[in-house]
C-alpha cells in the first residue's frame, strides 16, 4: 500500500539581503530541524553579494524566491502570500535555530490556543561567539493582548524568536510598503499578532541572535552602539522608528480588526534609549536636569510596568540613581548596564 507522509505544519522563512557570510548557517539550521516535514523558504531581497549562488546551491531542498530590493516589509508580505503551512517562523538570515526549535513550538501550539509562540534566543557576536546573554530578559506575556490595547509593548525576543499561526498573521498583513516603512516587519508581526489571540512563551533558548554592533568594551570608545543590543544605527533611532511603526499599527488595528489603540505606546526599551542617549557621557548638571524635569515617562515605564516584578523595578530604580554619581566612570557604566544587556556580560 502507498504511504503518505504527514502534511507539513511549519515553514521557516529566511529573509535575506546581502548576508552571504551568514546565510548558509541560517539555512543549514533550518534544514536540520528534527520535526518532520518542515519546509524552508528563502526570500532574497535583491542581494548583490553572492547570496543568489548560495541559495541556488541548495537546490530543491528549499523554496527559493528572488525579488527586487524592497525591504523586510515587502519580503514578509511576499512570504505570507505564498505560505501553504499553518505555522511559520521568520528567521533572520544572520541568525540560527536549534535543531528542536520547530518541534518545540509545534508542540506548544498543539497544547494551547495560541497565535504566537515565542522563545528565548542566545546572543552571539558577529563571529558566532556566544556571550552568555539571552533575550528577552523577561518572558512574562500574561494578558499581553489586553496590555497592548492599553499601549504597553510586551517583552518579546527579536524576530527570529517567534513562531506564528499563518491565518492569524494574515489578519495583520500585508503591511503597507512606503518610503519610510520598508524595514521593521517583525514589529507588526510581534505586536499585531497579540491583538488577534493568545501568546505563549517557552522559557528556554531555541535559537541564536547575532549582534553586529561593537560595544564599548570591544572598541574602547563611548560610541552610541554600546547603548543598544539591536543591530541598528543607535538606540534613539530605533526608538523613533518604533514610534512611526506604532502609528502604522494603530491604523491597521482599526481598519482590519476594529481595535482602537492609544496614540502613544509605553515601553521601557524605548524610554531607556532616550535616557541612555541623553545621559551617557553627559556632565553632572545635565544628568540632574534630566532627573528633575525630563524623567517622568521613564520612571512611569518602570513603576507601572505590568510585566515586571517589584524586585526588578526596585533594581532598575537603584541602578538609575547611580547615574547621579559624580564619578563619570561609575555613572556611564550604570547607563550602559541599564541600556544594553551585553554590558552586564562584559561586552
Task: Cell 524610554: give the residue.
Answer: 271
pLDDT at 13 over 60: yes
pLDDT in tens, 304-338: 999 999 999 999 999 999 999 999 999 999 998 99
Indicate the pTM of the whole model.
Answer: 0.93
Contact in structure between 134 and 122 (CB atoms under 8 Å): yes
pLDDT in tens, 50-108: 999 999 999 999 999 999 999 999 999 999 999 999 999 999 999 999 999 999 999 99
pLDDT in tens, 27-43: 999 999 999 989 999 99
pLDDT in tens, 219-247: 444 455 466 666 654 667 778 899 999 99
Segment of 163-167, 267-271, 339-343 carrying the highest mean pLDDT: 163-167
- Give the residue with greater pLDDT, 78 vs 1: 78
Q: In CATH, which superfamily holds the domain spanning 10-212?
A: Spore Coat Polysaccharide Biosynthesis Protein SpsA; Chain A (3.90.550.10)
pLDDT in tens, 142-177: 999 999 999 999 999 999 999 999 999 999 999 999
Domain ranges of the chain: 10-212, 214-347
pLDDT in tens, 192-212: 999 999 999 999 999 999 998
User: In whole numbers, what is the pLDDT of the chain averaged over residues?
Assistant: 91
Q: What is the mean pLDDT of residues 262-288?
A: 94
Amino acid at each position: 500500500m502507498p504511504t503518505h507522509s504527514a502534511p507539513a505544519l511549519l515553514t521557516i522563512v529566511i529573509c535575506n539581503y546581502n548576508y552571504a557570510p551568514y546565510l548558509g548557517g541560517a539555512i543549514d539550521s533550518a534544514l536540520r530541524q528534527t520535526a518532520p516535514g518542515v519546509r524552508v523558504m528563502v526570500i532574497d531581497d535583491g542581494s548583490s553579494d553572492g547570496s543568489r549562488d548560495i541559495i541556488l546551491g541548495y537546490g530543491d531542498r528549499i523554496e527559493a524566491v528572488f525579488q527586487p530590493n524592497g525591504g523586510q516589509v515587502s519580503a514578509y508580505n511576499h512570504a505570507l502570500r505564498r505560505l501553504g503551512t499553518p505555522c511559520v517562523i521568520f528567521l533572520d538570515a544572520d541568525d540560527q535555530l536549534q535543531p528542536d526549535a520547530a518541534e518545540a513550538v509545534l508542540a506548544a501550539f498543539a497544547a494551547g490556543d495560541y497565535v504566537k509562540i515565542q522563545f528565548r534566543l542566545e546572543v552571539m557576536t558577529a563571529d558566532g561567539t556566544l556571550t552568555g546573554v539571552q533575550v528577552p530578559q523577561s518572558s512574562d506575556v500574561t494578558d499581553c493582548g489586553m496590555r497592548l490595547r492599553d499601549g504597553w509593548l510586551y517583552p518579546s525576543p527579536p524576530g527570529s524568536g517567534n513562531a506564528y499561526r499563518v491565518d492569524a498573521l494574515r489578519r495583520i498583513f500585508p503591511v503597507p510598503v512606503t518610503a519610510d516603512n520598508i524595514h521593521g516587519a517583525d514589529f507588526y508581526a510581534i505586536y499585531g499578532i497579540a491583538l488577534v489571540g493568545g501568546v505563549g512563551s517557552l522559557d528556554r533558548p531555541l535559537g541564536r541572535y547575532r549582534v553586529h554592533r561593537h560595544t564599548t568594551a570591544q572598541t574602547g570608545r563611548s560610541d552610541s552602539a554600546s547603548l543598544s543590543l539591536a543591530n541598528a544605527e543607535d538606540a534613539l533611532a530605533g526608538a523613533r522608528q518604533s514610534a512611526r511603526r506604532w502609528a502604522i499599527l494603530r491604523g491597521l488595528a482599526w481598519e482590519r480588526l476594529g481595535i482602537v489603540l492609544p496614540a502613544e505606546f509605553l515601553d521601557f526599551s524605548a524610554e531607556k534609549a532616550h535616557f541612555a542617549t541623553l545621559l551617557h557621557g553627559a556632565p553632572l548638571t545635565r544628568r540632574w536636569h534630566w532627573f528633575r524635569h525630563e524623567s517622568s515617562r521613564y520612571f512611569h515605564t518602570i513603576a507601572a510596568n505590568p510585566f515586571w516584578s517589584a524586585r526588578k523595578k526596585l533594581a532598575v530604580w537603584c541602578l538609575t540613581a547611580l547615574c547621579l554619581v559624580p564619578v563619570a566612570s561609575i555613572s556611564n557604566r550604570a547607563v550602559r548596564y541599564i541600556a544594553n544587556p551585553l554590558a552586564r556580560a562584559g561586552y
